[in-house]
Amino acid sequence: MNNSPTYSSLLNSQLLFSAWQEIKDKKSAGGIDGISVADFNAVAAQQIQLLSDELIGNNYLPLPYRKVEIPKSEGEKRTLGMLAIRDKILQHAIKQLLEPELEKIFLDVSYAYREGKGALKAIARVKHILQTEKAQWLVSLDLDNFFDTIPHKLLLGKLSKRINDERLMALVELCIKMGKVDKGMQWTDHTEGVPQGAVLSPLLANLYLHELDEWMVMKELCYVRYADDFVILCKEKNKAESALKKTLNLVKQLQLKVNDGYKVEHIQTGFNFLGIHFKGTQISLSEKKQTRLKEKLEQAIYADGFTPAKHFTDYMQGVKNYYAKLLHPQQLLFIDQHLVALLSKNLKCKTQKQAKEKLTNLQFITPEFQKNQSLIIKQIIAATANGGKTLPTVAELVKKRKREYLAIEGEMSELLVTTFGSFIGKNTKGITVKKAGKTLAQAHNNLQHITVMSNGVSISSDAIKFCADNDIAIDFFTHKGEHYSSIHSSVEPDNELWIQQLKAEENGKAAILAKQIVLAKIGNQHKLIKYFHKYHKTTDSTFNVHYAANHQKFKTIETEIKNLATGSLTDLRQQIMAAEGRAAGIYWDAVAELINDDTEFEGRERKGARDLVNSMLNYGYSILYARMWVAVMQARLNPCISCLHTPQQGKPTLVYDLVEFFRQQAVDRVVIALIQKREKLAVKDGLLNEATRNKLVQHIYERMHRYENYRGEQRKLLHIFGLQAKEYAAYLTGAAKNFKPYAAKW
């Protein structure tokens, strides 16, 4: 401590001038005396000399902080203490003396207010920990009002260990204890905490939490801190629980408070750190942060009268410097889209020339909007002239076209044969369908599946070999929609996997899988009802009234199944099926309310159904069974060894298991939508007519080929069938710790 900072070091006028220059460059705001940086600049030399003289004479007395309240989220306010320029110069000079000494003890895990550190690097370190340390458990804990509650006595005690100069210590104490005054000159004492807005506060805050940093590093915990926001990650749950207990004790010793809700949770539940949402190793913006960024964008534009000028430029630069360096551009499209919507609706100009002038400084965040800036400006101007009606953005237009071509891709990968007397053959171009020498269809290069839905169709051995070589499955259905055969590439059986399927009952995995499958089915039924409720809650009062009650009933049944004891699999199946039956009753009653304005549907009926809805459902499920059968075989599973359904001789009961939680998205949603759209659908003599069959199959295939997010990647629903079968197999063999059934998005 022989070389520690001293009061006499402040008497160096060069140090004070250096501090003034930094404040001048930052264009800092002024304090209670109303003197701005520009005002001070005119008399800087005299004022700095006066400040130096006061320090030499030991009669320096700072002005009170100017009390400023700025809005936070959810109606709260943050209180800032704004310093007068001369007092800011002094605190900056003190900081220049203290910082090198304190940096000697500060640790690498502290990222706020330090040169070479910062929020971006803090987030990068958390990402690195998640990717390399395989940490799975998070200690979730927040300090309550940290800056405003730091005890002065403890803080000064920590600082005195680094500074051996009573006059300098007294000066720091004066800085942190000086009171605040508001616009009405009402005084507020400052008995605890460090003023947010003061130059010294960040440095002193880091010093105060240094003890916490030291303990985390000593215990070799995965820990990152940015001011009072920190992350603690552990590989094992018990270590996380121990870390939480010790952290609470340390915080208590520091006389700080912790917000309610502290806990240990798995990283897959997700957590927020510095405005970024982490879930596993994936990062994104939370909905709350997106809303806040939209609000700030509106404030920035309104501040400049809908002219993209200073406030707007500062906002966009801030987003580019922070979020754009962390996130994929697609995750920031909402900012550019909101900007265009705001300007299109609110930009008021008498002429196009005036509008162009107002948009001269317009800038975007994402490459997609930057590349099309001139076109987008034309759209905004056109929308302004169109009474503020927002025109589609470039991103929306591209997305629309993309959907069209993805649908075309799905259509081209499927070949549907419905004509009696057709012949499926092979020519130089691939698969062809003819009748009486006339070509009915020519398959494309990306053909993946053939469906035969008519009697009297023949197929050549060359066509079968071509399909086998190219992994193209062929499914055959009767005119009633009953699946009776499949041809697909041969798959070698996996004897070890089949043995594990058989062992699943005795090792308890079958019971776990049975519960998971039914919970997933009920969950997806619940989500489909939620999906339709979203669109009917304002138009269908009956459905809306019943929805709340049904929502609670689903939750109750799900809880009941989760609590079932996994003893005898036979007994468990009976209990699960009983609960599933009650959930099915709720589900189909809700479906009936959705469609009974357009058709008579009295409930679910399987074999022998002659009404339109049940006939469509049964027909659709046959298609689903066939696709899942192929997926099960390609995963090298035995289709006759199941968990939920009792195995039956010659029945693919595992296929029945795995389709349970896909029915709602692949078939039910399609049938309900077709009926609600009042499509021309009909049953003749208890069977779907040909036009209805073709329309239903087309829409089910379109649904199966639609992309959705699965395990963080865009996948076709059809491909998810295969992935689920492989994940099921991996769980049985022990290659995976658990099996997570498909959960629909709604």
Phi and psi (nearest 5°) for 282?
-90, 145
Tell me what pLDDT residue 483 has: 84
pLDDT at 229 over 80: yes
Which pLDDT band, with edges at 50, 70 and 90, does 76 fall under? low
590 vs 691: CA distance, rounded Å: 27
Return the number of other C-beta atoms located less than 10 Å from residue 275's C-beta.
17
- pLDDT tens-digit map of 532-541: 877 665 555 5
- pLDDT tens-digit map of 642-659: 999 999 988 899 999 999
Least confident of 169-173, 399-403, 611-615: 399-403
Tell me what pLDDT residue 381 has: 79
Maximum alpha-carbon separation in the chain = 113
Q: Long-range contact list for 577-581, CB < 8 A, 24+ apart?
A: 579/518, 580/518, 580/521, 580/522
Tell me what pLDDT residue 645 has: 94
Cβ contacts of 69 within 8 Å, gap of 6 or more:
77, 78, 79, 80
- pLDDT tens-digit map of 662-702: 999 999 999 999 998 888 899 888 888 888 988 999 899 98
Among the listed residues 299, 78, 100, 306, the one whose alpha carbon sits nearest the alpha carbon of residue 193: 78
SS3 assignment, position 259: coil
> What's the token pair of residue 337?
């889209």
Give the CB-side neighbour count of residue 14, counting CA atoms within 13 A. Answer: 1
Do residues 165 and 172 lie in contact, with contact meaning Cβ atoms separated by under 8 Å?
no
276 vs 279: CA distance, rounded Å: 10
- pLDDT tens-digit map of 437-485: 899 988 877 788 899 988 899 999 999 999 888 888 999 988 777 888 8
- pLDDT tens-digit map of 544-588: 667 778 888 899 999 999 999 877 888 899 999 999 999 999 999
Tell me what pLDDT residue 286 has: 79
pLDDT at 391 over 60: no
Q: What is the mean pLDDT of residues 366-391?
A: 74
Portion of the chain with pLDDT greater than 70, in percent = 92
Which pLDDT band, with edges at 50, 70 and 90, does 72 fall under? low
On average, the pLDDT of the chain sits at 86
Phi-psi region of 471 (alpha: psi -120 to 50; beta: other; left: phi over 0): left
68 vs 80: CA distance, rounded Å: 5
